[in-house]
Amino acid sequence: MADIALPPQDISVVEGSYLENIGKHKGLAAWLLSTDHKRIGIMYTVMLFSFFSVGVLLGILLRLEMISPGGKLFGPEVYNALFTLHGVIMIFLFVIPGIPVTLGNFFLPLQIGAKDVAFPRLNLFSFYLYVIGSAVILTALFVNGLPDTGWTFYVPYSLRTTTGVTVAVFGVFIVGFSSILTGINFLTTIHRLRAPGMTWFKMPLFVWALYATSWVQIIATPVLAITLLLIIISRVFGIGIFNAAAGGDPVLYQHLFWIYSHPAVYIMILPPMGIVSEIIATFTRRTIFGYKAIAMSSLAIAFIGYLVWGHHMFVAGMSQQADMVFSFLTFIVAIPSGIKVFNWVASMYKGSIDPQPPFLFVMAFMVLFSIGGLSGLVLGSLATDVHLTATYFVVAHFHYIIFGGGVFIFFGALHYWLPKMFGRMYDKKIASWDLLVMFIGFNLLYFPMFIMGYEGMPRRYFTYLPQFETLQHISIAGSWILVAGLIVMFVNLIHGAIKGPRVGPNPWGGTTLEWKTASPPIHENFEEEPVVIHEPYYHEEAFTS
């Protein structure tokens, strides 16, 4: 299908790549003390996927508890701890830092033609804040027993439980600061360090997505930070700020929590959306359809995303007017996402599609994200939400969005950029077939949850009624298929990064600036400072042949 042959590539070994040590430090120290955005990006990637593996393991155990009604495997206490840790690790240590700190760190300066981010030392400092914060969260496992509040730390239970909530919350607080500082760094970088000629509307869409994400990070995270601080202070000093007995209002905690945590959903999903645009433009050999609409819809999502937090609280006793306004705004926020999806589909029309693994990941994303997004509208409607809230339906919905949408694109992006990061290629055939396995496993795992949730299966219960047994078993089988697929994928990627065949600077025929330097990139990214003339997705070869 690839009818446009790419020009032959120079695959000789790159001199002075960022993988070679320079400076006074040797070995591991040369990595741990490096302020090179590329090395920091790789270190984040290693950390994040370590936590992802732990999160997956906990998720598998959660599913396994459902092997028979009655919850004989772990019992309620351990089950509560498992879903809390699964949530805290996956949300705060994996998907929220997610793509920005890993691939964003690596590719943001490359895509705008800069040598590094605006504040490289601050970047390294953010990394260590992340490391310290995650260490503190993991410490919580060993202090006073496993936290069992769920990842939302809802009061009043989080004030009453004797488990290690204080420590875990403090860890999340520190990780939050890492996130804020990264956001400031990226915003300044995008404003100040773009290559000559790169006007705002010549920036790649991934950069636009990171720009919108960074705003969300610095505007929303401080509110979470203060909310978590209040929990800590309330627990340590016994101040009854959310304690109804002292006149406080627990629902205010929910407000403050979701004022951050709903925009946080867009921190998770905006960067993947940017990457989808990159991959589609590359593998259809076309410029992206509706470039400005996609760029602006990122900002629109970031903005409207602030105004919909109340839809997490329809049953928490808000006034009916508030419920209706929040429901309406929730429908509004679906529009910019819709704009993106339609533009992506339009970009493929009459394109010269080359179905390489990254593109196939995008196809999987389109299906999973659409299911997730549309089921979100079911939850955004007041009448249906009352029936479905706190059921498996919600669990299925956000896993379709965050895992099927966001994380699948994270994987796709690894497949897209790994040749650039390491100058080597993984086995494409294995990657493509493995995606099929993961896709099937994913749907087997989560689709039955829609049905169970609709039929009334509540979330966060360690046991269930016998009528759900078949669907629970399908879901468990799906989880094992998915994990098998994940293992194959990671082995394939790691093997490819170390031992795969060498590739040249531009193995996919990409048009953005990162493909104009060596693979792997050299220390300060470009031999000469690039000058931007064309819009980001201008395919020269396609137009001349």
Query: Which residues lie near another protein (CB under 8 A)?
Result: 35, 114-116, 118-122, 125, 177, 180-181, 183-185, 187-188, 191-193, 195, 218-219, 221-223, 225-227, 229-230, 233, 237-241, 246-249, 252, 256, 259, 529
Cα distance between residue 164 and residue 231, in whole Å: 12
The least CB distance from residue 310 to another protein, in Å, is 14
The least CB distance from residue 526 to another protein, in Å, is 9
**Please, which residue, 326 or 393, has the CB nearer to another protein?**
326
Q: Crossing angle for the helix pair 428-454 and 408-422, nearest 10 degrees?
A: 160
Cα distance between residue 395 and residue 375, in whole Å: 11
Q: Which residue has the tokens 């800590």?
A: 232
The least CB distance from residue 305 to another protein, in Å, is 15
The least CB distance from residue 259 to another protein, in Å, is 8
Which of 299, 460, 304 has its CA nearest to residue 380?
A: 304
The least CB distance from residue 220 to another protein, in Å, is 8
The least CB distance from residue 78 to another protein, in Å, is 34
**Angle CA(214)–CA(357)–CA(20) in degrees, nearest 5?**
65
Residue ranges of the alpha helices (H) in 305-407? 320-348, 357-380, 382-388, 392-399
207: which 2 tokens? 């950069």
Cα distance between residue 19 and residue 506, in whole Å: 18
**Please, which residue, 85 or 513, has the CB nearer to another protein?**
513
**Please, which residue, 54 or 195, has the CB nearer to another protein?**
195
Cα distance between residue 390 and residue 456, in whole Å: 9
Cβ atoms of 394 and 452 within 8 Å: the answer is: no
**Please, which residue, 251 or 334, has the CB nearer to another protein?**
251
- For residue 288, the SS3 value is coil
286: which 2 tokens? 């076309």
The least CB distance from residue 181 to another protein, in Å, is 7
Cβ atoms of 30 and 21 within 8 Å: the answer is: yes
396: which 2 tokens? 């299925």
The least CB distance from residue 239 to another protein, in Å, is 4
**Please, which residue, 126 or 134, has the CB nearer to another protein?**
126
Q: Virtual CA dihedral for 95, 101, 102, 103, nearest 10 degrees?
A: 100
Cα distance between residue 46 and residue 198, in whole Å: 32
**Please, which residue, 118 or 168, has the CB nearer to another protein?**
118
The least CB distance from residue 224 to another protein, in Å, is 8
The least CB distance from residue 237 to another protein, in Å, is 7
Q: Which residue has the tokens 């991934």?
A: 206
**Please, which residue, 186 or 446, has the CB nearer to another protein?**
186
C-alpha of 23 from chain center:
33
Which of 518, 514, 537, 530 has its CA nearest to residue 103?
A: 514
**Please, which residue, 239 or 335, has the CB nearer to another protein?**
239
The least CB distance from residue 339 to another protein, in Å, is 28
Cα distance between residue 259 and residue 456, in whole Å: 28
Backbone angles phi, psi at 391, to 5 degrees: -115, 180
**Please, which residue, 82 or 216, has the CB nearer to another protein?**
216
**Please, which residue, 171 or 183, has the CB nearer to another protein?**
183
Q: Crossing angle for the helix pair 250-283 and 357-380, nearest 10 degrees?
A: 150
**Please, which residue, 180 or 407, has the CB nearer to another protein?**
180
Q: What is the DSSP letter of 242?
A: S
**Angle CA(467)–CA(468)–CA(470) in degrees, nearest 5?**
105
**Please, which residue, 73 or 251, has the CB nearer to another protein?**
251
409: which 2 tokens? 């694109």
The least CB distance from residue 233 to another protein, in Å, is 7
Cα distance between residue 178 and residue 188, in whole Å: 16
Judge residue 451's burial from the number of C-beta atoms within 10 Å of its C-beta, 0-12 exposed, 13-18 middle, 19 or more buried.
Answer: middle
